[in-house]
């Protein structure tokens, strides 16, 4: 059953308009009698039957409300050094599908993208579109970029913070390291990596982990490390 995202309160008959109506009517070519799911960012799926479709809106009859079973039960927030915008968009899509809860870009010495060039609205839209594939009703939330110093302050509030360290060769993520914790963070460096000084500072507040002997691109490291951690957390 296809799902569509709106910002209004759901649970009653509904008039679908705007871009989601356009997708329903002109891309999906839905017809009266078809059933769809509406989501508004809470933990539920709202099932509707299409009653009428016009050029500008679709009239929907409310059928039922149920708890969404695809939303993550445990929270993983991924902090990533700013990288090329196309690669950042890829990370948003894949981390949303895997079950990460939030993505926080940050600037550091080797970042080659300016924070002002990051279109957060577009990235959050990508997360919503990805939910139509993976079935989530609460999309991954992409935050405005923060500084390296702000990132260091934020990661101290988590149960565990893991840092994908290219210099670490032995310490791997294990189930024991995530056991009993439901609020974890992951830090991934920018394409140029961290400076020596940044690396020394971050290892004081985060647990270095290895992703193997191969040197991975930032987007590959983010997807691989997220998969490993969520697997150990029981989300995959």
- How far apart CA 153 and CA 157 sit, in angstroms, is 8
Question: How far is Cα 2 from Cα 37, in angstroms, rounded to an integer?
Answer: 6
- Cβ count within 10 A of residue 106: 24
Nearest 10 degrees: Cα torsion 210, 110, 91, 226 = 20
Please choose, from the candidates 165, 97, 84, the residue with its C-alpha nearest in 3D space to the C-alpha of residue 126: 97
pLDDT value at 168 more than 70: no
Note the pTM of the prediction, 2 decimals.
0.92
Q: Which residue has the tokens 């809860």?
A: 101
What's the pLDDT tens digit per position in 14-51? 999 999 999 999 999 999 999 999 999 999 999 999 99
Q: Residue 175: is its pLDDT beyond 70?
A: no
pLDDT tens sequence across 101-146: 999 999 999 888 889 999 999 999 999 999 999 999 999 999 999 9
């Amino acid at each position: 059953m296809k799902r569509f995202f709106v910002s209004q309160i759901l649970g009653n008959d509904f008039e679908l308009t705007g871009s989601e109506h356009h997708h329903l009517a002109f891309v999906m070519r839905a017809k009266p009698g078809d059933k769809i799911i509406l989501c508004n960012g809470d933990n539920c799926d709202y099932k509707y039957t299409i009653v009428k479709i016009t050029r500008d809106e679709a009239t929907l009859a409310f059928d039922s409300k149920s708890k969404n079973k695809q939303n993550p039960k445990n929270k993983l927030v991924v902090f990533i050094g700013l990288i090329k915008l196309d690669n950042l968009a890829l990370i948003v899509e894949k981390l949303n599908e895997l079950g990460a809860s939030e993505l926080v870009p940050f600037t550091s010495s080797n970042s080659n993208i300016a924070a002002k060039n990051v279109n957060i609205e577009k990235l959050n839209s990508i997360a919503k579109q990805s939910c139509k594939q993976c079935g989530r009703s609460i999309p991954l939330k992409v935050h405005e970029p923060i500084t390296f110093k702000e990132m260091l302050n934020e990661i101290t509030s988590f149960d565990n913070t893991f840092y994908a360290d290219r210099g670490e060769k032995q310490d791997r993520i294990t189930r024991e390291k995530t056991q009993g914790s439901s609020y974890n963070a992951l830090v991934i460096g920018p394409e140029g990596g961290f400076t020596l000084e940044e690396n020394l500072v971050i290892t004081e507040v985060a647990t270095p982990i290895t992703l193997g002997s191969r040197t991975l691109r930032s987007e590959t490291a983010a997807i691989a490390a997220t998969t490993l951690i969520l697997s150990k957390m029981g989300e995959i």
